[in-house]
Amino acid sequence: MSIAFSKYQGLGNDFILIDNRHSDTPVIEPEEAVIWCDRHFGIGADGIIFVLPGQQGADYTMRIFNSDGSEPEMCGNGIRCMAKFIAELEGKVDTEVTYQIHTLAGIITPEVMIKGDVQVDMGEPRLSATEIPTSLGMIDDQVVNQSIEVDGKTWSVTCVSMGNPHCMNFVEDANAIELATIGPKFEHHPAFPQRTNTEFVQVIRPDYLRMRVWERGAGITLACGTGACATVVAGVLTGKSDRSCTVELPGGCLQIHWSLADNRV
């Protein structure tokens, strides 16, 4: 059987996109995602995204498999890529278009702008320990500047869910962190029952943060949209950043705004 695919990237966070509008079931199994995403023996990508028929009134449904075959609830850069892919499938070029996308994190609304950028209403961050989920702190409480022992060192972390779990570490020098060593130790730490994405963040200015990410199920990636949003929320909760920030990732910059008026990112 042959399956058509497209390849997109957002700041170098790259995805295989599949037009799966004919069925509610993804055309490949999670185990196959591992082979497709392999950078030497496959197509190569951080994940695979399926455009499925809409549910609950949404235009489309997004499902995504990480490169290890696990299924995250949401994917910020991925949904930006998906919006462009759909616009192209629908022949909507050089026009503004907004889609309601059903995800495991609820309805998310990407908007393809006239210049070609994609802006996303990522919804409200989830801050309680149970929602993240993490066993750090009390179940209903926010997890801000909590101590955790990882790799023989005590870290002070702030956790935020954007539908998927993120654990932020504010550090002096983000580039000095040995991501490949420390990342997996956070990802698989028993304090995170669903594993976690892990961010190392350096405050350059309150409106400019530098961030490097170890992604759950994908490892080191060049950018993470949900992670950039979670980073700004964590920056505000810890009093380190403004609500409007540039987040610099290895693959480029994202502009993030956490609205005071409606709590949406």
Q: Contact 130/143 with Cβ under 8 angstroms?
A: no
User: Residues in contact with ligand ZDP, total (CB under 6 A)?
Assistant: 17
Report the site for ligand ZDP in 171-230 (rule: CB under 6 A): 197, 215-218, 221, 224-226
Q: Tell how strand 252-257 and strand 244-249 pair up.
A: antiparallel
Question: Is residue 134 within the footprint of ligand ZDP (CB under 6 A)?
Answer: no
**Nearer to ligand ZDP among residue 37 and residue 52 (C-beta):** 37
In whole angstroms, the minimum distance from the beta carbon of 117 to ligand ZDP comes to: 15
Q: Is 256 helix (H, G, I), strand (E, B) or coil?
A: strand
Q: For ligand ZDP, which is the closer residue by CB, 33 or 218? A: 218
DSSP string of 117-186? -EEEE----B-BTTTTT-SSS-TTSBEEEEEEEETTEEEEEEEEESSSEEEEEE-S-GGGS-HHHHHHHH
Query: Which residues from 8-67 bind ligand ZDP, rule CB under 6 A?
Result: 13, 66
What track of x and - describes contact with ligand ZDP for positions 58 through 87 (by CB under 6 A)? Answer: --------x-----x--xxxx---------
The residues annotated as belonging to the active site are 75, 224
Identify any residues that bridge with 203 across adjacent strands, giving them in sequence order.
209
Say if CB 28 and CB 64 are below 8 A apart: no
Binding site for ligand ZDP (CB under 6 A): 13, 66, 72, 75-78, 164, 197, 215-218, 221, 224-226
